[in-house]
Amino acid sequence: MQFRLKRHLHRKGFLSDPMRGASVAIKTTSSLKTATESSGFSSGKFVYTCVYSLMELQLVNTLPIFSKQFYNSRYFKRRHYFKDLLASVVVFLVALPLAMGISIASGMPPATGLITCIVGGLIVAPIAGSPLQVSGPAAGLSVIVYEILQQHGAEKLGVIIVLAGIMQLAMGIMKMGQWFRAVSPAVVNGMLAGIGILIFASQFHVMLDDAPKSTGLLNLAGIPVSLFDRLTETAVNSSHIAGCLGVLTIVVIILWEAIPIKQIKMIPSSLVAVVLATALTAIFNLPIKHVELPENLFSVVKVPTHWGHFWDLNILLEAMGLALLASAETLLSAIAVDKMQPLNRTKYDKELLAQGVGNTICGMLCSLPMTGVIVRSSVNIRAGAKSRMSAFFHGLWIFLLVISFPAMLRLIPTSALAALLVYTGYKLTNFKIVKELRRADKIEVAIYFITMGAIVATDLLTGVMTGVALSIAKLVYMFSHLEIKTVTNAENQTATQTAVHLRGAATFLNLPKLAEALESVPPNTELHIHLEELDYVDHASLEMIMTWEQQHKATGGLLVIDWGTLGSMFRDRRRTPREEPKPVAVVEDAQSEDSDDSGENEVIVATGSAKSGQMVDDRKPSGDLF
């Protein structure tokens, strides 16, 4: 039997052309099953012979998932099998309703989200750079997918997702994974808040068994109108029933998450709410919309045909935006996963490659795009997952359920899934982050709200680009802005003491402003330049200060600068050689000996004393320091 299988694979060219894998495997399996049944072989022996023969063949380099070496410690840890299997069941229960709800929010059939989950589990999980991250359809991408469907139609969506996957592959090959971490937190949180508002507004109408509007602003404006219409209607219709069922779903989620018992909270709140809503719908035979799922899952699989638009500029721009957003969401989710567990660290470039492979396959199947999802990943970690095996098996469970029991999923009411997305959108709109941004910088708060508003008013890509542009403008301002505050204290009629406080960045762009401030200092003045609030000083500004120091010294003035504030690198740039710092007692003796010398003043420069961190001057200046 084993010999016949090997001979059949050789004859079909499987070893010489491994890319024919799937079709050849199906033909081989069906033909050998017929042969074994006619020969009297049992089904168990048939399965064992096929699997053993495939593992004996040298397919490791082409199809590693079917090899013996795939399930060694490099990918899965055998001692964690039981924990990973339990975690995979929990993740499967969370991912199932979310995948269908995100599909509905994206304007696609629910089966497309399930296909993306299967690809993320069976294909992406074994090669991912973040072992405990779960990949699948994300609520954050539902907005951009819906916009693509409105502008280009479902026919071109597959081409755009394939292009996005290829771009992710290219970025992974070019080691660009770390670059996606260089995004301002205000932009990221503003993006999530904007996406949350759009999801909340659109799915609110779906929760009422109504269709969402064409834009986010229309969805927001339509919420009070829909509520007023439903509350003023006297006759009870399907919209009222669907709305009540959606509200009940949200209430169950909130109450279940408030339960303090950890063992009970291991059961996902979303699953409990959806099961309860489905049971009520089936028991009372409620006349509301249900999930539409085909008998055969693969009947929704379509190969993209519009390859002629592959180089269309609009298609390329949409694909680039999708690739950037999916990559950013994936890698930011991976950062959060690393914070939750310190053992399995993310390889960002490898994760980009894995996401590129997954999105390329999802595009070829005309399903939803995928990304690393923080909700499912956090559930995976809290459920006790130890390796990538849990993410792999969560995809397998979804595949087996959809193949075996599709009628069970058709009992789920659409309003319950929409309510789940309404609650998800509310959670994404996390305004508590504003307090943290305000503590850092008020400008970050402005960037946050502008990014969020631009996403809601225009589209996702325009809003994100607006936030990035504002962050760059803020950075340019921070490195080019210099505040100069001059304070003069008249001690007597012959001498004054002036303090100049510098704040910001002293660069060559601010030389005229700095020179004007120094030139305004009168001669024969003791000048103190305070650098405590100075973030940066370049060579041009430093040279200008040193030049002005010599000129001010010639007019009988004094200059006091705490060079220790900026470090030893700036002390080395002084034009005149510095004397070694003297002990305080020696300095006082030298001052008493030189008290009757000529009135020519010396430049006072603070230097480091023998003790670390203690600063002493060559001579104690008169008056109080500012």
Convert the pLDDT of each residue in 193-202 to its tens digit: 888 898 899 8
Range 366-389 average pLDDT: 87
Question: What pLDDT is stored for residue 370 in this prediction?
Answer: 94
Per-residue model confidence as pLDDT tens digits over 404-460 = 888 888 899 999 999 988 998 898 888 888 888 888 888 999 999 999 999 898 887
pTM strictly above 0.75:
no
pLDDT at residue 475 above 50? yes
What band does 363 get if pLDDT is binned at 50, 70 and 90?
A: very high
**Residue where the block lists tokens 């292009």:** 163
Question: What pLDDT is stored for residue 78 in this prediction?
Answer: 59
Quick one: DSSP state of residue 290?
Answer: B
Question: What pLDDT is stored for residue 535 in this prediction?
Answer: 79
Question: What pLDDT is stored for residue 4 in this prediction?
Answer: 52
Per-residue model confidence as pLDDT tens digits over 48-85 = 344 344 333 333 333 444 444 444 444 455 567 788 88
- Domains of the chain, CATH where assigned: 2-67 (no CATH), 80-428 (no CATH), 482-616 (3.30.750.24)
Question: What pLDDT is stored for residue 419 in this prediction?
Answer: 92
In terms of residues, how long is the chain? 626
CA R_g for the chain: 34
d(CA 578, CA 383): 64
Question: What pLDDT is stored for residue 170 in this prediction?
Answer: 93
Q: Which residue has the higher pLDDT, 613 or 415?
A: 415
Question: What pLDDT is stored for residue 23 in this prediction?
Answer: 44
Average pLDDT along the chain: 77
- Residue 539: Cβ within 10 Å count: 11
Question: What pLDDT is stored for residue 160 in this prediction?
Answer: 93
- Residue 423: Cβ within 10 Å count: 23
pLDDT at residue 106 above 50? yes
Question: What pLDDT is stored for residue 253 in this prediction?
Answer: 93
Question: What pLDDT is stored for residue 543 in this prediction?
Answer: 87
Question: What pLDDT is stored for residue 339 in this prediction?
Answer: 79
Per-residue model confidence as pLDDT tens digits over 19-29 = 444 444 444 44
Range 474-479 average pLDDT: 84
Per-residue model confidence as pLDDT tens digits over 5-23 = 445 445 544 444 444 444 4
SS3 485: strand
Per-residue model confidence as pLDDT tens digits over 201-231 = 989 999 998 888 878 889 999 999 989 888 8
441-447, long-range: CB within 8 Å, 24+ apart, which pairs?
443/474, 444/184, 444/185, 444/186, 445/186, 446/470, 447/184, 447/186, 447/187, 447/190, 447/471, 447/474
Question: What pLDDT is stored for residue 567 in this prediction?
Answer: 53
Quick one: DSSP state of residue 613?
Answer: T
Q: Which of 46-55, 101-110, 140-149, 237-246 has the lowest average pLDDT? A: 46-55
CA distances 311 to 18, 315, 549, Å, are: 29, 7, 62
Which candidate, 241, 240, 345, places its Cα nearest to that of 285?
Answer: 241
Question: What pLDDT is stored for residue 246 in this prediction?
Answer: 94
The set of residues, in sequence order, having a beta carbon less than 8 Å from that of 594 and lying 6+ positions away, is none
- Residue 497: Cβ within 10 Å count: 21
Range 476-500 average pLDDT: 75
d(CA 254, CA 326): 29
Question: What pLDDT is stored for residue 328 in this prediction?
Answer: 86
Which candidate, 240, 204, 244, 199, places its Cα nearest to that of 103?
Answer: 199
Beta bridge partners of 208: none
Q: Which of 333-337, 340-344, 545-549, 599-603 has the lowest average pLDDT? A: 599-603
pLDDT at residue 166 above 90? yes
